[in-house]
Amino acid sequence: MSEERRLDVLRAIVEDYVATREPVGSRALTERHALGVSPATIRNDMAALEDAGLIVQPHTSAGRVPTEQGYREFVDRLSGVRALSAAERRAIGTLLEQAVDLDDVMDRAVRLIAQLTQQVAVVQYPSLRRSALRHVELVPVGARHLLVVIITTTGRVEQRTVELTADLEEQLVQRLRLRLNVAAAGLRLAELDVALDALVDEFAPDGADVARAVVDVVAETLAQEREERVVVAGASHLARSAGADFPHTIGPVLEALEEQVVLLRLLSEMAEDSAGVAVRIGSETRHEGLAETSIVTSGYGGENSSVAVLGAVGPLRMDYPQTMAAVRAVARYLTRILAG
Strand partners, 124: 230
Task: Locate CATH 1.10.10.10 in the chain.
Answer: 3-76
**Range 3-76 classified under CATH 1.10.10.10:** yes
Q: What is the pLDDT of residues 63-91, one digit of tens each?
A: 899 999 999 999 999 877 888 888 888 88
d(CA 182, CA 191): 14
d(CA 20, CA 14): 10
Pairing state between β 120-124 and 308-315? antiparallel
Q: Is residue 227 scored above 60 in pLDDT?
A: no
Reported confidence tier of residue 99, pLDDT bands at 50, 70, 90: confident
CATH architecture of the domain with range 86-126+228-339: 2-Layer Sandwich (3.30)
Task: Locate CATH 3.30.390.60 in the chain.
Answer: 130-224
Average pLDDT, stretch 293-297?
95
Q: Is residue 150 scored above 90 in pLDDT?
A: no
Task: Locate CATH 3.30.450.40 in the chain.
Answer: 86-126+228-339
Among the four given CATH numbers 3.30.390.60, 3.40.50.300, 1.10.230.10, 3.40.50.1820, the one describing domain 130-224: 3.30.390.60
Q: Is residue 225 scored above 60 in pLDDT?
A: no
The predicted pLDDT at position 174 comes to 92
Reported confidence tier of residue 178, pLDDT bands at 50, 70, 90: very high
- H or E stretch at 315: strand 308-315
Q: Is residue 48 scored above 90 in pLDDT?
A: yes
Average pLDDT, stretch 237-257?
79
CA distances from 252 to 204, 289, 290, 312 (A): 58, 5, 7, 17
d(CA 156, CA 95): 19
The predicted pLDDT at position 241 comes to 72
